[in-house]
Structure 1
Amino acid sequence: MPTLSRAMVVLMLAVAAGCASLTDGPDRPRTAPELVGTYEFGRAGFAETVELHADGSYTRTLLGHLGQDSASFDGTWRVEGNRILFTPGAGLPSSSAPEPSEAFFYRHKPAFAPQRLIKFGRVDDWFVYVPQASR
């Protein structure tokens, strides 16, 4: 039994090592001006960018691969505490907007990740939207 317990602890530490902490910077809510910029996300054949504009609008571009065309969507965004909420543009389906996300500092730069993927104050690095060209 002690061997099994040690194996579980080692496994949990290995999983936690590949996660982003939501406290990698100032421990305060992010402000809208701090979040303005272009973010990228992409792994395993899927990539997108999200541009958060200072006027409260956004442009989300799903980047095509394997012969698919890219697609862009727009809408508005706002900050509520640590959350970023997205509203799709007129006539666009709700699925065209990024998911409600939590803003935090990742490697000391503003970043965000879908709230549903954040567990116990951590999120897998794969799901973090980071400032463009910072990976």
Structure 2
Amino acid sequence: MKAVIQRVKQASVSVEGKIIGEIEQGILAYIGLGHEDTFETAKKLVDKILTYRIFANEVGKLDKNVQEVGGGLLLVSQFTLMAKTNKGRRPDFAPAMPPNDAEVLFAELVQYAQTQYSQIKTGEFGADMQVMALNDGPINFILEVV
């Protein structure tokens, strides 16, 4: 399981011109699910995202997590993160979890996140989404859990 997390001043996801998820300061997290991923891996990833210290403390050091600053977490499923890109000029999406399984696991991931923190928003699984973000920093990280 992989995530690209971005520290944002604000972010939103729209489907067919309608905003379906929106946060102010916080983390925009793109989530990629692979064949071997389980609910246990999903829990590990959510816990890592919620406790990852990417917000500045009083002296400017990255020492606070999203919960400590009261920020939002916008979760967006993105199978393209799982693509193999080391050969050729076309991504190979074989490592990505099949859509039906991924939809179930992503829903479980979101439910778990909501039990851990109240400020969770999401995109729409499988939809053609438009994501707007005002990156803060910019600060971006790639997180992987197994």
The structure with higher relative contact order (CA 8 Å, sep 6+) is: 2
Name the TM-score, length of structure 1 as normaliser. 0.27
Larger Rg over CA atoms: 1
Name the TM-score, length of structure 2 as normaliser. 0.25
